[in-house]
Amino acid sequence: MRLALIGLGKMGANMARRLLQAKIEVVGFNRSPGIVKELSGEGLISADTILHAVQQLQSPRIIWLMIPSGSPTDNTIQDLIPMLEGGDIIIDGGNSNYHDSQRHGALLAKHGIGFVDAGTSGGIWGLKNGYCLMVGGEKQVVAQIEPVLKALAPAQDRGWAHVGPIGAGHFTKMIHNGIEYGMMQAFSEGFSLMKGKEEFNLDMAQISELWRHSSVVRSWLLDLMADFLVQDQDLKEVEPFVADSGEGRWTVVESVDQGIAAPVLSLALQMRFSSQDTEGYGNRLLSMMRNAFGGHFVQGKE
C-alpha cells in the first residue's frame, strides 16, 4: 500500500516513520525540503512538489494532509482537486475546524473525491506509542484507509475509531482538546497550591510520582509532569506564558452555540488568555478603580 503524506512537521515526520515501519510506502512532501531528505534515508519516497507526490501514486490515490488549519489546508485541497480523479481520497489529519471539514467534504464530493477528517492525538510521542485517531467520513471511504489507521494506532484493534460522518472526527478531537485544557488547568492549580504551602515544604516531584500509582487522578499528563518535575521543581527559567492552539476556543464557542454549560473548559481557556496578557491593561484599570473608590494603594512601576 502507498500514500502521499503532505506536511512533515513534528507529527507528520513521525507519522511517516511509523507508516514506514509498518511496511506502508510513503511519498512525502514538505515545504521545507530538509526533512524530506532526512526521511528519504529512512525509506521515504521523496517529492519535490505536491504534484510530484500525486504523480507517484496509483488510483485510488490516498493523500494525507498534516498541515496548518485554515487557509493552508483550504488552498492545498483546492490545488489537489485538478490533480485527482473520482475515487481518490484526501485525509485531513490536522487540527481543522469541523465546519471546515464539512465544507471540504461537500466540495470534494462534487468531484467524486472521498474525504476523511482524522482528529489525530499523540504529539511527539506518537512514533513510539501510536496515535489516537478519531475518524469522520463515509463508511466505504474509511474502510479503504483502514490499513493506514491500524498502522498509525497503538494497535490494530484499539486507539482508532470511525466515530461518525464527515466532520465528526475533527469535532471529537476539538472536544478532546477542550477537556485537555481543563485537565491541565486543574493540575497546574493543585500543584500551585501545594507549592505555596511553604510550611510543609512539599516535594512536587515526589507527589507527582506518588499519584501516578493507583491514584484516581493518574494520567499521561501526570506521567509527563512527573518526568520534568524530577529535573526541576521551581521552573524559574520558564516564562509563565501558555499558548492556545485554537481548538480550546472552538470548544467554548460550541458550548455557547449549543447552550450547554462548560465552565471548566471555558475558564481553562480564559486562564490561557490571562497568561498571554503582557500589557495587563485590565488589571491596571482594576487597580485605579480600587484607588478611586477606596483610596487603595496603587503599585507603580519601578
Name the DSSP letter for residue 63.
E
As a whole number of angstroms, the distance between CA 122 and CA 131 comes to: 5
Strand order in the sheet with 62-65: 45-46, 25-29, 2-6, 62-65, 89-92, 114-121, 132-136, 160-164
Identify the helix (H) or strand (E) that includes residue 91.
Answer: strand 89-92
Active site residue 173: yes
* Helices and strands in the chain: count of H runs, count of E runs: 14, 8
Residue 302, classed as helix, strand or coil, is coil
Alpha carbon 79 to its chain's center: 24
Residue 63 β-bridge partners: 4, 90
Torsion over CA: 66, 71, 76, 81 (sign): positive
- From the list 37, 38, 42, 180, the catalytic residue is 180
Burial 272-299 (b: 16+ CB within 10 A, else e): beeeeeeeeeeeeeebeeeeeeeeeeee
Q: For residue 232, give the C-alpha cell.
A: 526541576
Identify the helix (H) or strand (E) that includes residue 291.
Answer: helix 281-294
Residue length, the chain?
302
Identify the helix (H) or strand (E) that includes residue 138.
Answer: none
- From the list 173, 189, 236, 237, the catalytic residue is 173
> With contact defined as beta carbons under 8 Å apart, do 122 and 147 qualify?
no
Active site residue 37: no
First to last CA, the chain: 65
Q: Annotated active-site positions, please?
A: 173, 180
